[in-house]
Amino acid sequence: MKINLERQRAGSRDSQEFYFDIPGNDGYLKELGGKYRDNLEVKGLVEKSGEHYLLRGQVKTALELQCSRCLERFYYPVAVQFHLNLVESKYQAEYSRDEDVVFFSSDEAEIQPYIEGLVFSAIPLIPLCRPDCKGLCQQCGINRNLVQCQCRDENTDPRWDKLKNLKAGKEVT
């Protein structure tokens, strides 16, 4: 996913549009139990701004994630807008690590790791197949979205206790 800046660097063009439709790298998502279901579709505009290049665009894709309550896999669409600076490596010292910058040293800037980072950070901390997922029964292990079991509901899930404490704490302050 390389942006070719040759003509903009030479000054013969002020801006250029770009479009990519290529597979993402599952390696990033593996530790979260996720994977890509669609290509990374990335489009936008690069504008020259002095010595630097401002890239504005959006990335669209879809992931397959695992629900943290019922453990079912589900389809998760992602659409993120972004602003990014493309900067020649020789100016690297002027930029802090927090800024959205991709450095390049030849005529091409590789933006795929940055784009995959955006997709990664769009994944919720606690992925849920749906907001009201009922999860697995703590006693018989059945998926309670699909079947109503006969176990008594004792609210033994420690996550609910955590939530209760959190709410209680908020009311005090």
Candidate residues 44, 69, 118, 119; the one interacting with Zn ion per rule CB under 5 A = 69
Residue 133 sits in the site that holds Zn ion (CB under 5 A):
yes
Binding-site residue total for Zn ion (CB under 5 A)? 10
Q: Cβ closer to Zn ion: 8 or 144?
A: 144
Work out how close the CB of 151 gets to Zn ion at its nearest, in angstroms, rounded to a whole number.
3
Q: What is the 3-state secondary structure (H, E, C) of the chain?
A: CEEECHHHHCCCCCEEEEEEEECCCCHHHHCCCCEECCCEEEEEEEEEECCEEEEEEEEEEEEEEECCCCCCEEEEEEEEEEEEEEEEHHHHHHCCCCCCEEEECCCEEECHHHHHHHHHHCCCCCCCCCCCCCCECCCCCCECCCCCCCCCCCCCCHHHHHHHHHHHHHHHC
Residue 65 sits in the site that holds Zn ion (CB under 5 A):
no
Site for Zn ion in 111-130 (CB under 5 A): 129
Candidate residues 63, 65, 67, 111; the one interacting with Zn ion per rule CB under 5 A = 67
Q: Which residues bind Zn ion (CB under 5 A)?
A: 67, 69-70, 129, 133, 137, 139-140, 149, 151
